Structure 1
Amino acid sequence: MDLPGVEQVTGRAAVAVTLTVAALSVGVGILGIVDPTANFGPLAEHIPPAISQTAGFTGALTGFLMAMSAFGLRRGLRAAWYSTMVLLPVTAVQGLVQASPYSVPLVVLSVLSFPLLAVARDRFDQPISLSTSQLAAGGALFGVQAYGTIGTYALRGERGFTDISTMLDAFYYSLVTSSTVGYGDITPVTQEARLFSLSVVVLGTASFAIALTALLGPALEARFASALGRMTQSDLESLDGHVVVAGYGDLTEPILTELAARNREFVVLTSDDRDVSVLRGRNLNVLVADPADDDSLQRAGVDRARAVVTATNDDGEDALVILTIRENHQDVRVVAAASDQENEAKLRRAGADTVISPAVIGGRLIARSALGDQTAEQEAADVGDEPDAA
Structure 2
Amino acid sequence: MIHLPSPARGPLRALSTRLIAAIVLVLVVVGVVYLDREGYRDVNEDGLTLLDCFYYAVVSLSTTGYGDITPVSESARLTNVIVVTPARVLFLIILVGTTLEVLTEQYRTNARLTRWRTHLKDHVIVCGYGTKGRSAVVALRENGFDIRRIVVVESDRVAVRQATAEGLVAIEGSATRSATLAEAHVKDAKAVIIATDTDEANVLVTLTARQMTAGKVRIIAAAREAENAPLLKQSGAHQVIVSSATAGRLLGLSTSAPPLIDVVEDLLTPGHGMALALRSADRGEVGKSPRKVSELVIALVRHGRVFSLASPECATIETGDMLVYIRDDRAAPVETAISRDGS
Give the alignment's TM-score, normalised by structure 2: 0.44
* Structure (1 or 2) with the larger CA radius of gyration: 2
The structure showing larger relative contact order (alpha-carbon pairs under 8 Å, at least 6 residues apart) is 2
Give the alignment's TM-score, normalised by structure 1: 0.39
Bigger strand share: 2
